[in-house]
Chain A
Amino acid sequence: GAVVSQHPSWVICKSGTSVKIECRSLDFQATTMFWYRQFPKQSLMLMATSNEGSKATYEQGVEKDKFLINHASLTLSTLTVTSAHPEDSSFYICRVFPGGRSRPSSYEQYFGPGTRLTVT
């Protein structure tokens, strides 16, 4: 079954409104969650890294006031796109990382199914 869920899977909103995307780790506690955005036929670009109970670390060029990330618990991180505009239309994917010591490859496969955001 799914290890990571994202909600909603797709959303259409009007320009100027805010949209919240949830990423839930279903099978384990995720000390770290990563948020990516992806434009059609392009690569995944890391937006920010969130650690439970602390402020997110944003990548260069990502507006922290526009893309609010909250990692309030070990199983939930949220990405809020504030005052969305058409250029924010994209596919947003989260990845959860449980941390700790284990087989190195086993922790790199836990992606959410993605959220397709369309801003009109």
Chain B
Amino acid sequence: AQKITQTQPGMFVQEKEAVTLDCTYDTSDQSYGLFWYKQPSSGEMIFLIYQGSYDEQNATEGRYSLNFQKARKSANLVISASQLGDSAMYFCAMREGTSYGKLTFGQGTILTVHP
């Protein structure tokens, strides 16, 4: 079974609008971490935001926020006020409590921001 699932292969958004990228996960660990990364066409992996399984508040980093719904096992990324430079591939990833440092990635979502 997939541990991390991103069901949107591609998403389009108008500049300055908000967009939500979906991510669901599956783990039996109580302690885990969820991450979002941006990968532009250059290939570099850019860390965006982190949510710990015990964090009660949703994580926010500037225009990025993570909508963490633990009971539903979802960790959606919300990008507010989209910019043209946000066009990239986005990955959701999970670090399980028993896998020291090891990350499992979702399939990725290609986001295209239109002017």
By beta carbon, the residue of chain A nearest B47 is: A109
Within 8 A of B (CB), among A73-120: 91, 93, 95, 97, 99, 104-105, 107-109, 111, 113-114, 116
CB distance from A69 to the nearest CB of B (A): 15
Number of interface residues of A (CB under 8 A): 24
Q: Which residue of B lies closest to A115 (CB)?
A: B43
Interface residues on B, range: 20 to 34
Task: Indicate if B114 sits at the interface (CB-CB under 8 A).
Answer: no
Whether, in the assembled complex, A25 has its beta carbon less than 8 Å from a beta carbon of chain B, the answer is: no
> Does A41 contact B33, Cβ atoms closer than 8 Å?
no
A43 touches B44 (CB 8 A): no
Residues of A participating in the B interface, judged by any CB pair closer than 8 Å: 32, 34, 38, 41-46, 49, 91, 93, 95, 97, 99, 104-105, 107-109, 111, 113-114, 116
> 10 A-B residue contacts at CB 8 Å?
A32-B101, A43-B106, A43-B108, A46-B102, A95-B45, A105-B33, A105-B52, A108-B101, A111-B45, A114-B44
